[in-house]
C-alpha cells in the first residue's frame, strides 16, 4: 500500500513539474544589428546548452520559443559571440561587433556605457 502511494505521489509530482516547465515556454523575438545599426542576416540564435535555436532574417529579426531565465547565444562568423540572459523578457534586441581589434574596442566602450 505504501509503495502504491509513493508511486502515485511521484507521478503526480512529475506531472506537475512538467506542466510548470511547459507553461514557462513563450515566444521570444527581437532584432540583431551591427554597431552601425545595420540589420544582420544569418545570425544563429541558440539557447545555450541545447540545439534549439533560430536564424535571423534579412531584416535581422528572429523569433523562437524559450523558457524564462535561459541564456541566448548570438553567433555569426566574423563577429564576437554575444550571450544574453533573457530573464522574463519577450523582446531581446542585440548589437553585434566585428571580431577585430576595432570591434572589440567599440564593444568594450559600449558595455561600459551600459553600466
For residue range 38-79, what is the model confidence (pLDDT) as tens digits? 999 999 999 999 999 999 999 999 999 999 889 999 999 999
CATH number of the domain residue 44 falls in: 2.60.40.1120
pLDDT band per the 50, 70, 90 thresholds, residue 17: very low
Domain assignment of residue 56, given as a range:
26-114
Task: Flag whether 2 is in a domain.
Answer: no
Looking at the structure of the chain, the number of domains it has is: 1
The residues that bridge with 26 in the sheet, in sequence order, are 66
The pTM (predicted TM-score) of the whole model is 0.75
Judge whether 3 lies within some domain.
no
Amino acid at each position: 500500500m505504501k509503495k502504491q502511494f509513493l508511486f502515485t505521489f511521484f507521478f503526480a509530482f512529475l506531472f506537475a513539474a512538467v506542466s510548470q516547465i511547459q507553461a514557462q515556454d513563450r515566444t521570444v523575438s527581437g532584432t540583431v544589428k551591427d554597431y552601425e545599426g545595420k540589420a544582420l542576416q544569418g545570425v544563429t540564435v541558440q539557447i545555450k546548452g541545447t540545439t534549439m535555436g533560430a536564424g535571423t532574417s534579412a531584416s535581422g529579426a528572429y523569433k523562437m520559443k524559450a523558457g524564462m531565465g535561459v541564456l541566448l547565444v548570438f553567433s555569426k562568423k566574423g563577429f564576437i559571440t554575444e550571450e544574453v540572459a533573457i530573464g522574463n523578457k519577450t523582446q531581446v534586441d542585440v548589437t553585434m561587433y566585428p571580431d577585430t581589434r576595432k570591434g572589440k574596442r567599440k564593444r568594450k566602450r559600449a558595455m561600459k556605457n551600459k553600466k
